[in-house]
Amino acid sequence: MEPLVKELLEVIVQETQLLEDFLVALVDQEKLLRNYKLSSLTRSWEKERESLSLAKSLERKRLDITQKLSKRFKIDKNKFDFSLLSELLEESSCTKLEELQRILLDLCQKVELQRKKNQQLIRKSSGFLVSKKETNSQKVFPTEYAGKGSFYQGKGKFDSIKRKATAN
């Protein structure tokens, strides 16, 4: 197997593992949102930012490798994609690449679905907080949040949750 192809497959495997970890983090965020553990979300977002930073680094590396492969196979870099690459590779590499593509596609769909679920939970929580704000907030919210005015006024922590969820 050509060293560049091997390196590309390794990078894609790393991206797959990272996406799996990202999905786990999103599921954990859902649990935190459902249990109103909003103070724990900050740590989760930090992990998410680290994952996204690593993902960008891996993406740059993958793009660099594919650019080198397009030059090696003398294919216009704008027309070069994994489907075309699959046609040029030996069978074992082609099979592995196609398998990784399916896994990545499946993970991307799961991540998108989970993000939408989390955004929906945030919107519902926002509506719940606003509608209950005029009632007795001490009875509505867990005691760990009682008396934190900025939280109940829709400022501070909750707004940052909503911004971060919609930004990602």
In-domain check, residue 85? yes
pLDDT per residue as tens digits for the range 37-93: 777 888 888 888 898 899 899 989 988 998 898 888 888 877 777 777 777 777 778
In-domain check, residue 70? yes
In-domain check, residue 123? no
Residues near 164 by Cβ (< 8 Å), separated by ≥ 6?
45
3-state SS record for 64-118: HHHHHHHHHCCCCCCCCCHHHHHHHCCHHHHHHHHHHHHHHHHHHHHHHHHHHHH
pLDDT per residue as tens digits for the range 65-74: 988 988 888 8
Q: Is 1's pLDDT higher than 80?
A: no
User: Which pLDDT band holds residue 15 (cuts at 50, 70, 90)?
Assistant: very high
- Write out the residue range of the structural domain in which residue 50 sits: 3-118
Structural domain tally of the chain? Answer: 1
- Residue 69, pLDDT score: 86
In-domain check, residue 153? no
pLDDT per residue as tens digits for the range 84-119: 777 777 777 888 888 888 998 899 999 999 999 999
What's the whole-model pTM score?
0.65
